[in-house]
Structure 1
Amino acid sequence: MKITIIMMRRQKLMNILFYDTKKYDRDSFDAIKGGYPQLCIDYVEADLSVRTARLARGYEAICAFVSSDVSAAVVNALSEVGVKLILMRCAGFNNVDLDATEKCGMTVLRVPGYSPEAVAEHAMALAMAVNRKLHKSYIKVRENNFSLVGLTGMNFHGKIAGIVGTGKIGAAMARICHGFGMKVIAYDMYKNPELDFVTYVELQELFRVSDLISLHCPLTDDTYHLVNADTIAQMKDKVILVNTSRGALIKTEDLIAGIRSRKFFGVGLDVYEEETGNVFENREDDILETSITARLLSFPNVIVTSHQGFLTEEALEAISRTTLDNAVNFEAGNIDKANLVVL
């Protein structure tokens, strides 16, 4: 009897090392990775650095996050151990040295859109919280202090919301503000045709008339320190300022001076300059090396959160799927150009 033996070709696995992984990262990726049998994922808690880059030896790709160090020195170290692909499980990539990745022939892929509503809803949550003093009232009631003194807010209905940047997140924030009954104005180099209820104005006009200003633009040379002493001086007294985009959009020293001069009714920050050492870390037993964070937290009309605007179940799932899709498409030579980071 003739026996035919068929040799099955084993599918090559792509090995990916995830840096700076927290429980919610592992949970979200583990929940879907069964649908990607061609990928082999390992996690490390350590963040990416020149020293930890050596851990990526034997991996074709690494996955980093918005606060990871992807400087030229790190890129070179990754290239030396054979890494060809950098997966950013976030939209931002200003922490990536693209000159270095290009010289090393490395591809950088990101997640440009996951859940715009997640970030926009957090921006409005910050605005509402500083407006209605929720951070103060929560603590007071826990101490059995039911006094209303110092908790007076203002109606958002009928006020002017100024949205800086009307991409997907800014557009979502504009819709939320419109739903609150606010007049919505915006500044962007490119008008969003879907926002027919928005009036586009020059940036100086937006700063001058807005009761609520929410930043939703990328960090570039042109937007670096967009909010500074000069632009703060243009703003209304008792304005509310919210930033869920990038910390360096605001010159922090000038912001602190503006808070001290009582320019702001409230400030809500999910991002801020010099946040890198704090983001996603438990530092409750540490003495903070910089006074920036301590000074911001000292003001009763300021709320600072730890870069959590993206942190919803829906957003985490979308980030996970797009990141793994990017890896599979790279291996297949079918990269989604919308996710490709280039110079």
Structure 2
Amino acid sequence: MKQTSKRSVFPFTAIVGQEEMKLALLLNVIDPRIGGVMIMGDRGTGKSTTIRALADLLPEIDVVAGDPYNSSPNDPDLQSKEVRERIDQGEVLNIGKCQVPMVDLPLGATEDRLCGTIDIEKALSEGIRAFEPGLLAKANRGLLYVDEVNLLDDHLVDVLLDSAASGWNTVEREGISVRHPARFVLIGSGNPEEGELRPQLLDRFGMNVEVRTVRDPELRVQVVDQRTAFDNDPENFNANFKDNQIILQTRIIQAQKQLSKVIIEEDLRIRISALCGELDVDGLRGDIVINRAARALTAFEGRTEVNDDDVARVVASCLRHRLRKDPLEQVGSGDRVIKVFCEVFERGKPNDLSAFELVLNN
């Protein structure tokens, strides 16, 4: 009997706590235009485990067989130039399926490794445009994960963010230019003790999540027990969460289809912009991201109209990294966002943050 070589991945639905991080990742999968997630927090808080679990959770996608960019068979915006030319010539494409790509960007990666390289010698001698795709090509229609992104060279972060925003990667050298689709969800993680990301770069991430070490003894024991059970018998552990995984995967697929039907009334959009103005947020990126994240959350819950609670649950992660820092202020940026939200939306401040969290099993 043929043995499977697929490595066991800790199931997303088995991860204990870190609700804000899980919510931000799910919303970006539902609507990649939100702009990615920056996860900052302590070491050993499950950042990498959660991200890999998300990639394993996602359903397979249709791709053009043999295409290095994971081109979509039917969406021109997600097709390489070569695939579009083949379609224009009337060629019938072979269609295959693949797991949503999950690409890790190592800290020591060069710009050529990230963007791809052009073989100049071959181009000049043979007249052939020989392009070696990079990590951005492999990440198209998937997830691109950068651990310790705050330690990555700023110019590489710029390239990543530009590609994530435009959905395209362009490589130019010696008068030769290659352009290919590079639409992916950019996920960065880091420990603030090892250095901060420049505000100009941090602002370009759609959402920012802060994760903390679990302090409750019972929850800590639960996390340890879960991990031990998985390490001892991954196959059986995953089997126990199979139904939950399928249910969540189905909700994601339905939310992606539902997204275009979700509306935000004008009054709510005005209050969102009033909140950003009250917090003195530069630019309009904050307004746009809140609108998109709230719509994605509404779709995830199977509704078609955004309400105040939807905004409440995403507002801190959409704005905390866009606030101007006051070194004398004692209140954290996330708490400041929630305080002003309650004032603008005329709500009493909650005793806890439960109103601002998503319970995945509701």
| Bin for the TM-score computed over the shorter chain | under 0.3
**TM-score, normalising length from structure 2?**
0.26
Q: Which structure has the greater CA radius of gyration? A: 1
TM-score (norm 1): 0.28
